[in-house]
Structure 1
Amino acid sequence: MGQKLQFFVAGLGRFGKSVAVTLEKMGYDVMAMDIDEDVVQDLADTLGYVVCADCSDEKNLSAIGAGNADVAVVSVGELSASLMTTLLLKEMGVKKIVVKALDPLHGKMLQKIGADKVIYSEKEMGVRVAHNLISPGIVDYIEMENNITILSIHVPEDWIGKSILDIDIRKKYNITVVAIKRKGEMYVNPHPDMQLASDDMLIILGDSESVKRVTASLEQ
């Protein structure tokens, strides 16, 4: 596995808090900032590095080291502060910036100034987004009840050209490939002899710990 990703989260409302706490629990380095002192105090024991400051002020972003983040998540509830924070992070050289937009017009503005991903709805919950952020191989992530997770992923490089049977996915990873999406076609309950292609999308099912192992392989 390569060097561990570093994250910066600006704004710790429901969405931002969910992203930050999920990433922290997964063992990633998280820097977080919110202007509300009570919010920061509540998270002081949960997050390793959280400060009370205005994230739309360049001096504050520099002080926390936001420019060193691989990924920044901006979840600020005020339009001008959201735009300014995004612009400053872009100028600081953050590789990937994900921003929660207040409405479609806000989203268009964010894209114009360099946001890499714009999220419009609370339905795209922080836990889900956090898992999407840790690896470009993860397309979607849904946690269900009873510790079961459904994950959509690009085919790992070392699986290309091999069949499900060759890889021994169920035994090695304790997961099940429930479907393969290939060139617009969905193959549900695919045959074990089906060889995986580089542009396939896999929909897998498993318990959370097993899914974590697959996620780790995608980060390599």
Structure 2
Amino acid sequence: MKQYLVIGLGSFGTNVARTLYEAGEEVVGIDLDETIVQETINNDYLENALVLDATDEIQLKKLDVQSFDVVFICIGLIEPSIMITLNLKEMGVKKTIVKAINGKHRKLLEKIGADQVIYPEEYMGKRTALVAMEPNMIEHLRFSQDFLLVEVKAPLEFIGKNFIELDIRKNYNINVIGIKKISGRFIPNPTATTIIEKDDTLIVVTDTKSANKINDILKKEYKED
């Protein structure tokens, strides 16, 4: 199992950490604000969260950042995020995924060696286009070459069945961490007896191969309709 570190527990960082945590991954979150860290733990978004200044090299070394497979830098300020990214690369961190707050910030991060830069505005623009081109499945976040978070329409063969009947993890190799209803209501962490209904959208963590299989099912159903 891979180990993930999320630096910065604002809205974006918390969602990244929570997604990994709910998927059963080993994840540690850190933030300079003690209140934010405590709220993250109290809300059960994360089990392991620490108050730590990520711009301090000594504190990062004590955390043994080199042992993490992927480090997310989700800081909302340009200078600290650049400093942290540089320090992590010099410490030999395997992979860094950094949030950029604008285009200039993204270019700077790419120049200093960030392995992957996520620019929310650009992402939302791409997502809007993808929804138009591929309405059945939208990729939200790729954690590694094979591990990703996607939003998919519930296949017709899922409708009216619960997770026990479907045995989704065994038969489809996917982990459903949430369900979006057509009304807009969101069900986090559906139970084993939750019944999937028509027009449900599943929030899924899986690998690329399994995601493609689900998408093939949806494309076939869409064509037949």
Residue 207 (structure 1) aligns with: none
Letter in 2 for 1:18: N
Question: Does residue 22 of structure 1 match 2:19?
Answer: yes
Partner SS, residue 128 of structure 1: strand
Partner SS, residue 177 of structure 1: helix
Q: TM-score, normalised by structure 2?
A: 0.61
Partner SS, residue 95 of structure 1: coil
Q: Is the 8 A contact 1:31 1:66 kept in 2?
A: no
State the Cα distance separating 1:150 from its structure 2 match.
7.5
Q: Which moved more, 1:84-93 or 1:8-17?
A: 84-93
Residue 128 (structure 1) aligns with: 140
Residue 34 (structure 1) aligns with: 31
Letter in 2 for 1:61: L
Residue 105 (structure 2) aligns with: 106
Change (3 A) 1:72 1:150: closer
Give the Cα–Cα distance (whole angstroms) in 2 for the partners of residues 60 and 66 of structure 1: 10
Give the Cα–Cα distance (whole angstroms) in 2 for the partners of residues 10 and 151 of structure 1: 21
Total equivalences in the alignment:
159
Flag structure 1 segments of 5+ consecutive residues without an equivalent.
157-163, 170-174, 180-187, 191-220
Change (3 A) 1:62 1:152: closer
Q: Is the 8 A contact 1:177 1:189 kept in 2?
A: yes
Give the Cα–Cα distance (whole angstroms) in 2 for the partners of residues 26 and 14 of structure 1: 18
Q: Is the 8 A contact 2:71 2:96 kept in 1?
A: yes
State the Cα distance separating 1:59 from its structure 2 match.
1.3
Q: Is the 8 A contact 1:61 1:67 kept in 2?
A: no
The structure with the largest helix share of the pair is: 2
Question: Does residue 83 of structure 1 match 2:69?
Answer: no
Residue 160 (structure 2) aligns with: none
Give the Cα–Cα distance (whole angstroms) in 2 for the partners of residues 149 and 43 of structure 1: 21
Letter in 1 for 2:105: H
Letter in 1 for 2:202: I
1:122-142, Cα deviation, whole Å (9 max, x unpaired): 6669x932xx21x41356622
Pairing partner for 1:148 from 185, 199, 202: 202
Which structure 2 residues correspond to residues 37-186 of structure 1 after superposition, within 5 A?
A: 37-45=34-42, 46=44, 47-121=46-120, 128-129=140-141, 132-133=142-143, 135-138=144-147, 141-142=150-151, 145=180, 146-149=200-203, 154-155=208-209, 175=214, 177-178=216-217
Q: Give the CA RMSD over aligned residues.
A: 3.1
Give the Cα–Cα distance (whole angstroms) in 1 for the partners of residues 215 and 118 of structure 2: 30
Give the Cα–Cα distance (whole angstroms) in 2 for the partners of residues 13 and 43 of structure 1: 10
Q: Is the 8 A contact 2:149 2:203 kept in 1?
A: no
1:71-107, Cα deviation, whole Å (9 max, x unpaired): 0100001111100111111112111110000111111
Residue 6 (structure 1) aligns with: 3
Q: TM-score, normalised by structure 1?
A: 0.62
Letter in 2 for 1:117: Q
Q: Give the structure, 1 or 2, with the largest relative contact order (CA under 8 Å, sep 6 or more).
A: 1
State the Cα distance separating 1:189 from its structure 2 match.
3.1
Q: What's the % identity of the aligned pairs?
A: 35
